[in-house]
Structure 1
Amino acid sequence: MTHSILRIDASANGADSVTRNLTQAIVEQLQGDVTHRDLAATAPQFATAGYISGRTLAPDERDTAQRADMVQPDALVAELEAADTIVIGLPIYNFGVPAALKAWADQVAIPGRTFAYSAEGPKGLLEGKRAIIAVASGGTKVGSEIDFATPWLRFFLGFIGVTDVQIIAADQLGQGAEDKISAAHDSIASIAA
């Protein structure tokens, strides 16, 4: 059986993006069937009234507006469901995640598909998957008190059931990019498929 990889890029920096370079290196290291979702090229829609009300309904119970607003979320969730490994490029913008990545998270948080409420609280439904997050920042140190991006993304992934999360960091690039990017590539070379 072939390993299925969902690669998600969020950097608006195009070919000069450090995170895109890292996610490419990760998927090459993992060697599987890759689905690529470029959130900067095609940003997910923001949550709408039809999405909010439609996401809790069965498809045949949705009205016309809800059905239209659920086309993209259903497709994004299907990509997650099909993936064994999720590779996410996370540039840190102003101490947090890019707006397109937050919009993606809003679209895939669907009760009954990616999480469920129980007496013990929310339970993620996408268990058994692995996530590798490639992080780049100009000045924010990953894991520091001003890093609001990686803890949020790790928490969100856990919320939908993905608890096996690895961070590959090329952080504080304003203070010596070449060594930090090289160290990130060394970490990628040790990732097991």
Structure 2
Amino acid sequence: MAKVLILKSSILGSYSQSSALVDYVTQQWSDKGAQITVRDLGSQTLPMLDGELASGLRGGDNLSERQLAAVALSDELVAEIKAHDTIVIAAPMYNFTIPTTLKSWIDLIARAGVTFTYTDTGPVGLIEGKRAIIVTTRGGAHKGGTTDHVVPYLTTVLSFIGITQVETVYAESLNMGPDAAEAGISQAKKALDAITL
């Protein structure tokens, strides 16, 4: 049985197009027997990384209560990744990049000695045997262009922690009129339908 972790990151609640797309694929895969876990980062306030938390995540003694809580949450998030075969990341484009909700999640799971390590020949990811699917929504058309900072960034982060099998589903031009929006969503759903677990 496939185990899938769905990460939502939109702050728009029921108006979110990225959440609607991952809800669509969640239903499809649930019907096929996949075990689905959904973490809605948009409704869960993750701490924003600052000096105190960055220091705490590096470990050590005499950590503050706030640092201990962040380490415990980080451990939970990392364990969640390890417990699933596939990670689906809903990543809407906000001002040409990812939402702060998703960035906070990345800051909590990218930990030296836990999800990556440095060696004489460079960094090595420690999360192995996983697959990631990025579902990205945009108001305009950015795929393959210099304005798309979402997919290159997420692909780099995932590779850095060891997840190199990455697929991307695009829903573009969603604010460029009803016809363009309908076409963008339809194309994304077809791409999701083609993905097998």
Correspondence list, 1:153-172, <5 A = 153-172=154-173
Aligned to 2:45, the other structure's residue is in SS state coil
Aligned to 1:107, the other structure's residue is in SS state helix
Matched residue, 1:180: 184
Matched-pair contact (CA < 8 Å) for 2:169–2:192 = yes
Matched-pair contact (CA < 8 Å) for 1:29–1:191 = no
Correspondence list, 1:1-193, <5 A = 2-31=1-30, 32-57=34-59, 61=61, 63-65=63-65, 66-175=67-176, 176-193=180-197
Cα distance per residue 1:31-70 (max 9 Å; x no partner): 4211111111013111144432232337xx4534332331
Report the Cα distance in structure 1 between the residues aligned to 2:125 and 2:118, rounded to whole angstroms. Answer: 9
Amino acid at match of 1:63: L
Q: Structure 1: 5+ residue runs without aligned partners?
A: none
Report the Cα distance in structure 1 between the residues aligned to 2:27 and 2:113, rounded to whole angstroms. Answer: 33
- What is the aligned-residue RMSD (CA, Å)? 1.6
Report the Cα distance in structure 1 between the residues aligned to 2:96 and 2:135, rounded to whole angstroms. Answer: 15
Amino acid at match of 2:191: S
Matched-pair contact (CA < 8 Å) for 2:7–2:87 = yes
Deviation of 1:140 after TM superposition, in Å, equals 4.0
Report the Cα distance in structure 2 between the residues aligned to 1:100 and 1:62, rounded to whole angstroms. Answer: 28
Deviation of 1:155 after TM superposition, in Å, equals 0.7
Deviation of 1:30 after TM superposition, in Å, equals 3.4
Matched-pair contact (CA < 8 Å) for 1:50–1:70 = no
Identity of aligned residues (%): 37
Report the Cα distance in structure 2 between the residues aligned to 1:47 and 1:92, rounded to whole angstroms. Answer: 21
Deviation of 1:13 after TM superposition, in Å, equals 1.7
Report the Cα distance in structure 1 between the residues aligned to 2:70 and 2:14, rounded to whole angstroms. Answer: 31
Report the Cα distance in structure 1 between the residues aligned to 2:56 and 2:13, rounded to whole angstroms. Answer: 34
Matched-pair contact (CA < 8 Å) for 1:54–1:62 = no
9 and 116 in structure 1: CA distance in 2 versus 1, 3 angstrom threshold? same
62 and 7 in structure 1: CA distance in 2 versus 1, 3 angstrom threshold? farther
Amino acid at match of 1:184: A
Deviation of 1:101 after TM superposition, in Å, equals 0.6
Q: Structure 2: 5+ residue runs without aligned partners?
A: none
Aligned to 1:97, the other structure's residue is in SS state coil
Report the Cα distance in structure 1 between the residues aligned to 2:79 and 2:135, rounded to whole angstroms. Answer: 22
Report the Cα distance in structure 2 between the residues aligned to 1:182 and 1:128, rounded to whole angstroms. Answer: 31
Q: TM-score, normalised by structure 2?
A: 0.90
Report the Cα distance in structure 2 between the residues aligned to 1:140 and 1:122, rounded to whole angstroms. Answer: 33
Cα distance per residue 1:94-114 (max 9 Å; x no partner): 100001111110011111111
Matched-pair contact (CA < 8 Å) for 2:57–2:70 = no
Report the Cα distance in structure 1 between the residues aligned to 2:64 and 2:15, rounded to whole angstroms. Answer: 41
